Structure 1
Amino acid sequence: MQADALEPLHRTVIRPEWLDYNGHLNEAYYLLVFSHATDALLDLIGMDDAWRRANGMTVYTLETHIRYLHEVGAGVEVQVDSRVLGLDAKRLHLFHRMKRSDGAATLATAEMLLVNIDMSGPHSTPWAAPVRVCLDRLRELHAHQALPDGAGRSISLDRPKKSHTGS
């Protein structure tokens, strides 16, 4: 594994059949692009398809938060860079950022929580030692930097404060 290989982790061109009725990338296909970036990360840390099959291990996604920041049309080449925000014995906190390949503007972000799975159960299980070493290396790569813009956000509407009236 090359620790500096996270940017970009995945590139693709937006296909016309991925567009919605507004002529923009459909929300489901944002997730597809981010999912392919996660697959590329798994390959990078040594958990490629052959390893997963040989070891009876895989990764499940527990949670995903996508922010749609700019419209994307057909024919646009996008790239996804990724960052390991944290991990523990069984889980991985990952942040993906999608940009145009020819520009710096962030089009969308995906924050994900993944869990390592032993398929014999299936049940969660600690990362295999070589995988954990790679993940630790990737986490350390950006550990000195502030969290990326949008990381840790939750979905909410501002709620008006309740007024208390005496009766």
Structure 2
Amino acid sequence: MTASTQDNSASILAPLALHRETVQPAWIDYNGHMNLAYYMVAFDHATDAFFDFVGLGEAYLKANNASTFTLEGHITYDREMTAGAPMRFETQLLAHDTKRLHYIHFMYHAEEGYLASTNELISLHVDMTARRSAPMPDDVIGRLGLVAAAHDKLPHPEQAGRVISIAR
């Protein structure tokens, strides 16, 4: 397996399985596990795969001079990942409107099956000429509607909507 590969086995009827990747040795910190910054790198690759799937990827940017910007994100670190560990990502669309997408990625150890991390994000559709928010085209909204119809039947992830705090 290469360092980053697209997984084309996606089904809209389940969380989308669009991306697989391997933890690179350069991503390991002095604690002997994947450094927190590289979780975001891997999740960004999963976002690219998700956006390609719904029609908002790099080809869309080039054809429409429009893209998405991340407005907010939250990561949970549930279990360690070490050098060479295979990662498998699942993505669930939580909500969308004409300009925004709310979604969550789940990072699993691809061989051992455990949940290693989650990344919840809100992204905004942007007209790259005006550098302002703009509605997504109807075909993208339609594709998101199909994904949302399937994903609305899934349980709401317990990790979604968390607020960072120390419980008292």
Could you state the TM-score of these two structures normalised by the residue count of structure 1? 0.89
Aligned match for 2:73, one of 60, 64, 80: 64
Partner residue in 2 for 1:3: 12
User: CA offset at residue 141 of structure 1?
Assistant: 1.3
Q: Which residue of the other structure, out of 29, 35, 42, is the alignment partner of 1:20?
A: 29
CA-to-aligned-CA distance 1:24-61 (integer Å, 9 cap, x gap): 10111100111111100111112231221120100000
Amino acid at match of 2:83: A
Distance 1:76 1:70 in 2: 12
Q: Decide which of 38, 45, 52 is 1:43's aligned counterpart.
A: 52
Percent identity, aligned pairs only? 37
- Partner residue of 1:121 out of 115, 130, 133: 130
Tell me, yes or no, if structure 1 residue 76 matches structure 2 residue 88: no
Tell which deviates more after alignment, 108-117 or 141-150: 141-150
CA distance in 2, matches of 1:91, 1:123: 13
User: Normalising to structure 2: TM-score of the pair?
Assistant: 0.89
* Superposition deviation, residue 103 in structure 1: 2.9
Rg larger for: 1
- Following superposition of structure 1 onto structure 2, how do residues 105-120 of structure 1 map, counting pairs within 5 Å? 105-120=114-129
Partner of 2:166: 157
Distance 1:5 1:45, change over 3 A: farther
Superposition RMSD on alpha carbons, in Å?
1.6
Partner of 1:148: 157
Asked if 1:102 is matched to 2:111, the reply is: yes
**Structure 1 residue identity aligned to 2:142:** V
Gaps of 5+ in 2: 1-9
Query: Partners of 2:139 and 2:117 in 1: how far apart?
Result: 31
In terms of mean alpha carbon deviation, does 127-136 or 141-150 score higher? 141-150
Query: 2:102 is matched with which residue?
Result: 93
Q: Is the 8 A contact 2:14 2:151 kept in 1?
A: no
Deviations 1:55-93 (A, max 9, x none): 010000001100000011000000110000001121000
Q: Is the 8 A contact 2:13 2:151 kept in 1?
A: no
Counterpart Cα distance in 2 of 1:79 and 1:6: 12
Give every structure 1 segment of 4 or more consecutive aligned residues whose post-TM-superposition deviation is greater than 6 Å. Answer: none
Q: AA paired with 1:154?
A: V
Residue identity in the other structure for 1:115: L
